[in-house]
Amino acid sequence: MTKADIVNEIAKNTGIDKASVLATVESFMDVVKDSLANNENVYLRGFGSFIVKRRAQKTARNISKNTTIIIPEHNIPAFKPAKTFVSKVKDSGKK
């Protein structure tokens, strides 16, 4: 499902015009991105959490040049689904 599919589905279910739904969806994504960029987690009860994970420094190999490089520690965004979300997805496969 794409962002356009999500906008169409929300517009169909709520009766709100697509332009307003698109603006709302994009605003939501901007808020989540800005919060994660500021090291603030976003918690949506019943859905899941958008969190910032810290990756430790590690050594990697550049195979083409046969050298080692150091990858510094850095933050990455992650999503952790809520238990109800996970159980609903699991139950959907039991049909």
Average pLDDT of every residue of the chain: 94
Q: What is the mean pLDDT of residues 45-74?
A: 94
Q: For the segment 61-95, what is each residue's pLDDT rounded down to a tens digit?
A: 988 999 999 999 999 999 999 999 999 999 887 65
Q: Residue 67 half-sphere exposure, CB side, CA atoms within 13 Å?
A: 4
The confidence band for 41, taking pLDDT boundaries of 50, 70 and 90, is: very high
Token code pair at residue 78: 């992650």
CA distance 65 to 62: 6
Q: Whole-prediction pTM value?
A: 0.79
Q: Is 41 helix (H, G, I), strand (E, B) or coil?
A: coil
Token code pair at residue 63: 């195979």
Q: Residue 63 half-sphere exposure, CB side, CA atoms within 13 Å?
A: 0
Q: Which of 20, 19, 42 is nearest to 31 (CA)?
A: 42
